[in-house]
Amino acid sequence: MTVKVTAPDKPLLSRDQMAKRLAQDLEADWVVNIGIGIPTQAVAYVPKERDVILHSENGIIGMGPPPEREEDIDRDLMSAGKGPVTLMPGGAYVHHADSFSLARGGRLDCAVLGAYQVASNGDLANWKVPGASSGNIGGAMDIAVGAKQVFAIMTHVSKDGTPKVVDRLTYPPTALGVVTRVYTDMAVLSVTPDGFVLEEVAPGLTVDDVQAACDAKLILPSEVRTIAA
């Protein structure tokens, strides 16, 4: 049986707004891996005065935002998503074996990854759709198992109504029990031993709107805040 859910017929957060909300939770002095897709949009929203060390899997420790001038774009300095970036003061380059040693070895305080589905036990799916003969893993499996926290960022519901916030994955897993927070265009959720806790909802949405767009029971704290979008 295929479960379908519906997003409300109301304005949802843009990708930029989702990335901006997530960036607020990246703490000073953290080492944070930035995955491809929406996660790259979070880089621009890390407050300038906050010293967060960004890691890019291809071997950049201390990744900075894209160069402001086009003539400063360097083909030898690209992000995991192959977009132009810069190196922050005190940054370093390493090769892939060292880059992933750092990830598996527990040096990442957080990884920001895109997702197809997140389950209430923290299981992450982001590399392959059900029934496909193969898919794209990239660095996600290594990074997800190694990081102390995984922040998943994704739309709340897929275009065809397949739920993405679920009790148990229906997509092939990338890593088990790793996701700690979920940032969507409708809500911010925490993953706890008891399941998803609904922390914040997007402006204009109700708790019921969010619950109806999940295939998992949400736990409601005493106060559900509104996302400052």
Among the listed residues 82, 89, 131, 222, the single contact to other proteins using CB under 8 A: 82
Phi, psi (deg, nearest 5) at residue 164: -110, -25
Task: Verify binding: residue 143, other proteins, rule CB under 8 A.
Answer: yes
Restricted to residues 34-63, the positions that interact with other proteins (CB under 8 A) are: 56-60
Among the listed residues 64, 114, 172, 203, the single contact to other proteins using CB under 8 A: 172
d(CA 139, CA 123): 16
Task: Verify binding: residue 126, other proteins, rule CB under 8 A.
Answer: no
The least distance separating other proteins from the CB of residue 152, rounded to whole angstroms, comes to 16
Residue in 213, 219, 216 with CA at minimum distance from that of residue 5: 213
126 neighbors 116 (Cβ within 8 angstroms): yes
Query: Residues with Cβ < 8 Å from 189, sequence gap 6 or more?
Result: 165, 181, 182, 196, 197, 198, 199, 218
Task: Verify binding: residue 131, other proteins, rule CB under 8 A.
Answer: no
**Is 49 among the catalytic positions?**
no
- Given its phi and psi angles, is residue 25 left (phi above 0), alpha (psi -120 to 50 degrees) or beta? alpha
The least distance separating other proteins from the CB of residue 156, rounded to whole angstroms, comes to 24
Task: Verify binding: residue 136, other proteins, rule CB under 8 A.
Answer: yes
Instruction: Tell me which residues touch other proteins (CB under 8 A).
Output: 56-60, 74-78, 82, 87, 93-97, 99-101, 103-104, 128, 134-143, 145-146, 172-176
